[in-house]
Amino acid sequence: MRLVTALTLLALAGAAAAEPFPGGNAETGKKLFEQNKCSSCHIQMLGGDGSGIFTRANRKVKSPQQMLTQMDACAAAAGINLSASDKQHLGAYLNRYYNLK
Ligand code: HEC
């Protein structure tokens, strides 16, 4: 019985580690990204669809925490309000570029 509990906990820990934005839904994040016009500044900076900001060689975000911090900075600059769950959704969406663990 102890072994089963230990294995279950290990499995849960593994799942948590593989889920940098728990509760985030990438499809919801995509909608939020469009609704909030998240690309507007990034397009002005880099052209195209703006996604180059997420794939540039010297990109800044290297961890889920940095992603959240950057989103706060962008939202503040744009004067928009993102809830904690909005940020989890956006993180899950943007993680297709970052593949953060
Ligand atoms: C007011 C303009 C503006 C808006 C609107 C904006 N951003 Fe940004 N964003 C920036 C700037 C400027 C940078 C580059 C910051 C840097 O290089 O230090 C950036 C960078 C980023 C990065 C980091 C890219 C990297 O280097 O890894 C992420 C992630 C990001 N933005 C997400 C978002 C999201 C999500 C939204 C919508 C909620 C958003 N941004 C809206 C201006 C904006």
What are 75-95's pLDDT values in tens digits?
Answer: 999 999 999 999 999 999 999
Average confidence (pLDDT) over 56-62: 97
Ligand 1 neighbourhood includes 68 CB (under 6 angstroms): no
Question: How many angstroms separate the alpha carbon of residue 6 from the centre of ligand 1?
Answer: 41
**Distance set, CA 18 to CA 32, 78, 92 (Å):** 23, 31, 12
Candidate from 37, 39, 42 with most ligand 1 atoms within 8 A of CB, to mutate: 42
Residue 49 contacts by C-beta under 8 Å, 6 or more apart in sequence?
Answer: 39, 43
At 9-52, the pLDDT tens digits run 556 555 555 689 999 999 999 999 999 999 999 999 999 999 99
Compute the distance between CA of residue 15 and CA of residue 46 in angstroms, rounded to an integer: 35
Q: How many CA atoms does the CB half-sphere of 12 hold within 13 Å?
A: 6
CB of 61 closer than 6 angstroms to any ligand 1 atom: yes
